Structure 1
Amino acid sequence: METRKNRRKKRKSPLKKVFLTLLGILLVFIIGAGVFLGKMYFDAKGTVNQVTEPATERQYPAGKGNKDNIKAGKPFSVLLLGLDTGDLGRDEQGRSDTIMVATVNPSTKQTTLVSIARDTYTEIIGHGTTDKINHAYAFGGVSMAMDSVENLLDVPIDHYVAINMKGLKELVDAVGGIQVVNGFAFEQDGFTFNEGTISLNGEQALAFSRMRYQDAEGDYGRQKRQRQVVSGILKQAMSLSTLTTYQDILASLENNMKTDLSWDELVKISTNYRSALTTIEQENLQGEGFMQDGVSYQAISDEEMQRVRDLLKNQLK
């Protein structure tokens, strides 16, 4: 916590005792805050060390992602995976039902968040098949998912963050809930979501991000709501109000999240990229449905693919 030294004029003797009393209270507050922030620092570092898991088996193409971008203060990319496990007693490998690529640019002070439909038909790098993009994680974990998304978008994927459904729910509660702007009223999982700006707790956020059958945009409408939830969490996490609930935030991450971002990288992101994380541009890779062998997929046109590739490449300059 930063403090500013205020120059004070000399006080007359009758006020001296009052001044010393106030100074003593201030010193107690500063010391107490220092202990609190010190504990928070080491608690957070311990959690990050626990959830850190490098993507060690990447194949395509070797070294395309740049692990030094954050250290150098350059734009970087992160693959965000929402796993369909961790809730309702599910603990298998699972699939990445939510797939987003985030580019964070400190120069433009902007984060661009692009959703990829889970049914997107593409090459699964390292598996020798062409399939739904969300099968990459099921077949080969985060490394295969990173390789396959990197191949699809033709942009470097530097890092990843994977969180399961239980973690998402607990994280929303840990930051004190979020606010989103809902385009139309609907019901899902026993909750009613009115049109307009609404507040969501963890259970509600999970239900809000799951709905697709009542949406004319189908899975693309669901992707929009997923981006809203992620944006809401980021904005809440960057606010000072989360300082008092940081232990809840850490607890929600310990058993439900994995990332290859190190503690030092996260510290640099929080200090050097803070302004970029508060301005979030939301996009999606738009496809068209088709059937093959009785299975539904999403095909991406050349024009749409080029649009999104150019968007991400410009943000990584």
Structure 2
Amino acid sequence: MVEGRRSDRRKKPKRRWLKISLVVILVLVLGVGAYAYSIYHNAKQTVNEKMHQTVDSIDHNDGKKKINAEKPLNILLLGVDKRAGDRGRSDALMVLSMEPKKDKMKLISIPRDTRAEIVGKGREDKINHAYAYGGTDMSIATVENFLNVELDYYVEMNMEGLSKMVDAVGGITVNNELEWYDEGYYKKGYHYEKGKITLDGPQAMGYVRMRHLDPNGDFGRTKRQRQVIEAIIDKGASIASVNKIDDMIDVLGNNMATNLDFDDMKNLLFNYKDVRKNVVRYMMEGNGTKIGGTYYLIVPDSEIAKVHDMIVK
């Protein structure tokens, strides 16, 4: 009997520690749950109240049906350079085409100097001027007409916000193919070394804006823009950036506009999550020429047909 009572006494501390451990775990779970809900609520409110902006040129319901049915989806990405007293131009213009059934996505860049018919203006001009003439709607209509494709959504990002987003994710790493010293976008004389380099926000802006020192001109700059955008996405999707989500949401809320609402984004995340397994990157090609003293990139019909087929097939 004595041995039995001693045995009971020895077991009690273990039970007490077990109870304490369970309480600690429960508190941690509740804390993480509350934090997760806070992030979720903040994200939903920011997207639906600050970022979500519909446009006349796109039927929002068609996009929703495609996302729910996991059909191919085309999104226009606009990197807009807006400054005081200026409506702005689309510095970066890309079509993101996603095929969930094939776990594949294509990121197609349209050079800003591409000569195209500006829908609504009735004349040809640089394709990035469509935004200056008629904002997002005219840019969408012009790209759809130029490539003969249907766009389901658009995402517009102020290029100044790109700098803040890089800082929000804690900096990015890119593989720089060209060594140069900054012209003054970030800090005159800053050295962009060749190879893998880590950039903060202002350095990233210098990286994507440089054009005159690049022998490939706008083609080189567009490639660097794609690098930075992909690096932000990769860094933002990493586990290490979980504690930076609120900062990222705030930056997006102040610098991004899209006709995607929060439910669209959520369904896109789940239904199209594997498309990044196979990424095809392409930049439209053409021949540079001057017309009336202005430089244009003339893209031949064969190249337009090629890109059309890349998107619709």
TM exceeds 0.5? yes
- For 1:127, the equivalent position in structure 2 comes to 121
Separation in 2 of the partners of 1:66 and 1:18?
A: 54
2:75 aligns with: 78
Q: In the alignment, what sits opposite 1:156?
A: 150
Q: 1:182 aligns with which of 176, 185, 199?
A: 176
Contact 1:65 1:156 in 2 (8 A): no
Is the alpha carbon distance of 1:259 and 1:30 closer, same or farther for their aligned partners in structure 2, counting shifts above 3 Å?
Answer: same
SS in structure 2 of the partner of residue 149 of structure 1? helix
Give 1:195 shift: 1.1
- Per-residue CA distance 1:208-252 (angstroms, 9 max, x = gap): 011111212111011100000111111112122222111211221
Cα 1:171/1:125, change in 2 over 3 Å: same
1:47–1:79: structure 2 CA closer, same or farther, 3 Å change rule?
same
Deviation at 1:138, TM superposition (A): 0.8
Matches for 1:226-305 after TM superposition, within 5 Å: 226-277=225-276, 279-305=278-304
Q: Per-residue deviation at 1:65?
A: 7.0
Instruction: Judge conservation of contact 1:235–1:278 (CA < 8 Å) in 2.
Output: no
Matches within 5 A, 1:1-317: 13-49=12-48, 50-56=50-56, 58=57, 66-86=63-83, 90=84, 92-188=86-182, 189=184, 190=188, 191-277=190-276, 279-314=278-313
Q: What is the SS of the residue equivalent to 1:71?
A: helix
Describe the SS at the equivalent of 1:68: helix
* Residues 64 and 299 of structure 1: CA distance in aligned 2, closer, same or farther (over 3 Å): farther
Other structure's SS at 1:223 match: helix
Residue by residue, what CA displacement relative to the aligned partner does 1:141-178 show, whole Å, maximum 9, x if unpaired? 11110011011112211111111122111111111211
Q: Extract unaligned runs of 5+ from structure 2.
A: 1-9
C-alpha separation in 1, matches of 2:277 and 2:255:
24
Describe the shift of the 1:63–1:257 C-alpha distance in structure 2 as closer, same or farther (beyond 3 A).
closer
In structure 2, the CA distance between the partners of 1:93 and 1:65, relative to structure 1 (3 Å rule), is farther
**Following the alignment from structure 1 to structure 2, what is the Cα–Cα distance between the partners of residues 176 and 284?**
29
Report the more deviating stretch, 122-131 or 278-287: 278-287
Instruction: Give me the whole-angstrom Cα distance separating, in 2, the residues matched to 1:51 and 1:108.
Output: 30
2:60–2:259 contact (8 Å) kept in structure 1? no
Q: What's the CA shift for 1:97?
A: 1.2
By percentage of residues, which structure has more helix?
2
Deviates more, 1:256-265 or 1:175-184: 175-184
Taking the aligned partners of 2:87 and 2:62, their CA distance within structure 1 comes to 25
Distance 1:64 1:13 in 2: 62
SS at match of 1:255: helix
In the alignment, the residues of structure 2 paired with residue 77 and residue 19 of structure 1 have an alpha-carbon distance, to the nearest angstrom, of 54
Can you list the C-alpha shifts for 1:105-141, whole angstroms capped at 9, x where unaligned? 2222232111111110111111111111011111111
**Match for 1:39: what amino acid?**
S
| SS of corresponding position for 2:296 | strand
Q: Give the Å deviation of 1:85.
A: 1.3
Higher Rg: 2
Distance 1:106 1:240 in 2: 24
Encode CA deviations 1:47-87: one digit per residue, 9 max, x unaligned. Answer: 1011111012x29xx8997452112222211111111115x
Q: Is 2:97–2:311's contact at 8 Å kept on the other side of the alignment? A: yes
The whole-number CA distance in structure 2 between the counterparts of 1:186 and 1:210 is 13
| Cα-to-partner distance string for 1:174-197 (whole Å, 9 max, x where unaligned) | 112111111121122332111111
How many residue pairs get aligned? The number is 298
1:122 to 1:79, Cα distance in 2 relative to 1, 3 A: same
The letter for the 2-side match of 1:132 is K
Classify 1:285/1:226 alpha carbon distance in 2 versus 1 (closer, same or farther; 3 Å).
same
Task: Compute the displacement of 1:45 (Å).
Answer: 0.7
Counterpart residue number, 2:6: none
User: What letter corresponds to residue 192 of structure 2 in structure 1?
Assistant: F
Identity of aligned residues (%): 38
Q: Please name the residue that 1:8 is paired with.
A: none
Q: SS state of the match for residue 107, structure 1?
A: helix
Cα distance in 2 for residues equivalent to 1:297 and 1:64: 37
